Structure 1
Amino acid sequence: MVQVHVVTRENAAQYAKELDSYFRWRHLIYVEERGWEDLRREDGLERDQFDTSAAVHLIAMIGPDVVGGSRMIRMSEPTLLSEVFPRLVQRGTVPRDHETIEWTRMFVAPARRTGHGEKSVAGALFCAVMEYCLAIGATRVGGVMETFWLPRWQRFGWTTQALGLPEEIAGSMTLAAFMDVNRKSLDGVRDATGWTQPVLVWGMEPGDAHATALTLLAS
Structure 2
Amino acid sequence: MQTASKHLRAVFCTETQNPSVVDQLYQFRKTLFVDALRWDLTVKRGRERDQFDTGSTIHCALFRSGNLIAGFRAIRTDRPYLAQSVFPHLATFAAYPQRHDVWEISRFGVLPSEAGSITARLLYSLMFHLAYRCGASALVALADLRYERFLTQLGIRTRRYGPPQIVGLDETGKPLSLVAGDIPLANQRGWRFEALLKLAADVEIDDETLVLGSDRLSA
Taking structure 2 as the reference length, the TM-score comes to 0.81
The number of residues matched between the two structures is 202
Deviations 1:165-192 (A, max 9, x none): 1111122110111012259459634525
Which residue type is aligned with residue 199 of structure 2?
Answer: W
**Structure 1: where are the runs of 5+ without partners?**
205-211
Which residue type is aligned with residue 25 of structure 2?
Answer: Y
What is the rounded CA distance, in whole Å, between the counterparts of 2:38 and 2:51 in structure 1? 19
1:22 matched to 2:28? The reply is no
Q: Which residue of 1 aligns with 2:58?
A: 56
Deviations 1:17-65 (A, max 9, x none): 322221111011111112223x142411000110111211110011322
SS of 1:104's equivalent in the other structure is strand
Which residue type is aligned with residue 22 of structure 1?
Answer: L
Which among 9, 20, 23 is matched to residue 3 of structure 1?
9
Higher normalized strand content (fraction of residues): 2
Q: CA RMSD for the aligned pairs?
A: 2.7
Which among 79, 82, 89 is matched to residue 80 of structure 1?
82
The alignment-based identity, stated in percent, is: 21
Q: Is this contact kept in 1: 2:29–2:48, CA < 8 A? A: yes
Q: Which has the higher contact order (CA 8 A, sep 6+)?
A: 2
Taking structure 1 as the reference length, the TM-score comes to 0.81
Which residue type is aligned with residue 33 of structure 1?
Answer: A
Structure 1 residues 10, 19: closer, same or farther in 2, change over 3 A? closer
Q: Is this contact kept in 1: 2:42–2:49, CA < 8 A? A: no
Alignment of 1:52-201 (within 5 A): 52-113=54-115, 115-116=116-117, 120-171=118-169, 172-182=176-186, 184-185=188-189, 188-189=192-193, 191-192=195-196, 195=199, 197=201, 199=203, 201=205
Structure 1 residues 183, 127: closer, same or farther in 2, change over 3 A? farther
What is the rounded CA distance, in whole Å, between the counterparts of 1:103 and 1:196 in structure 2? 18
SS of 1:124's equivalent in the other structure is helix
1:130 Cα deviation after fit = 0.6
